[in-house]
Amino acid sequence: MKIIALEGIDGTGKTTIFEKLKAYFADDPRVVFAKSPPPPFYEVMADFWEKPKLERFLFFLTANIYFCSKKDDHKIYVLDRFIFSTYVTHIVSLNRKQKQVLKSLLGEIDIPKPSKTYLIKSSLSAIQKRLDERNNEIDNKLRSNRAYFEELYDQYYGEQDVNLGQVETLENENWENFNRNIDVIKQDIEAMRGK
C-alpha cells in the first residue's frame, strides 16, 4: 500500500510540511493528500472528543480502516496523521488493563501499515513558541494541562511497543530542517511514483 504518513504532536510543523508538499504535487493526480480522519468521519469527529478514550480510539481506528478500504492501489497517499497518532494519542494516560485492550485490538485488526511514517519532531520550547503564535482553542486546551502534554510528547517520541510500520524521525527545529525534510519526503514520494 503506497501510504506516507506525517505524524507528530501539534506544533512540530507537520501540517506546514504537509501543505508545502501538497502544493508541490498539486498537478499530479497520482499523489493524493488527505487529512485524518477522512469523510464521513471528519464531519462527526467533534461528537467523539469527550468520549472515553477506548471509544474514541475505536472511532479513529474505524476511520483508518474505512480509508484503507476506499484507497486506489494506483495512487500514492500522503496523510496528515494515520495509525501512529491513533495509537499514541489514545494509549497515553490509560491504566494497564485499558492499554492491553487497546494493544490487543490493534494487534487483531489487520490494518495496512504505511510504506513510511515520518515522525516530525521539535523541542518542547519550539513547540511552545509555535502554539503561542497560533493561539487557537484546541492548542490552548491541550497546553493547559502541562503534565499531560509532556506525557503525550514522551509517548510520541519514545520507543513504541507495537508494530506501527517503518518510522523515521525528522528533526524540525528551524527552516534549514524544514527545507531538508521537504526534500527527504519529496524524494520518497517521487521514488514511489516511479514504481
Q: Residue 169's beta-bridge partner residues?
A: 119
Distance CA(185)–CA(194), nearest Å, equals 14
Tell me how long the chain is: 195
Percentages of the chain per state (helix, strand, coil), in multiples of 5: 55, 15, 30
171 three-state secondary structure = strand
- CATH class, 3-193 region: alpha beta
Domain ranges of the chain: 3-193
> What pLDDT score was predicted for residue 30?
96
pLDDT tens digit string along 114-132? 999 999 999 988 988 888 8
User: What is the average pLDDT value for the chain, to the nearest integer?
Assistant: 90
* Cα distances (Å, whole numbers) of residue 99 to 55, 92, 147: 13, 9, 19
Whole-model pTM above 0.85? yes
Question: Each residue of 165-180: pLDDT tens digit?
Answer: 899 999 999 999 999 9
DSSP conformation class of 114: P
Q: What is the predicted pLDDT for the residue at 141?
A: 66
Number of CB atoms found within 10 A of residue 50's CB: 8
pLDDT of res. 142: 66
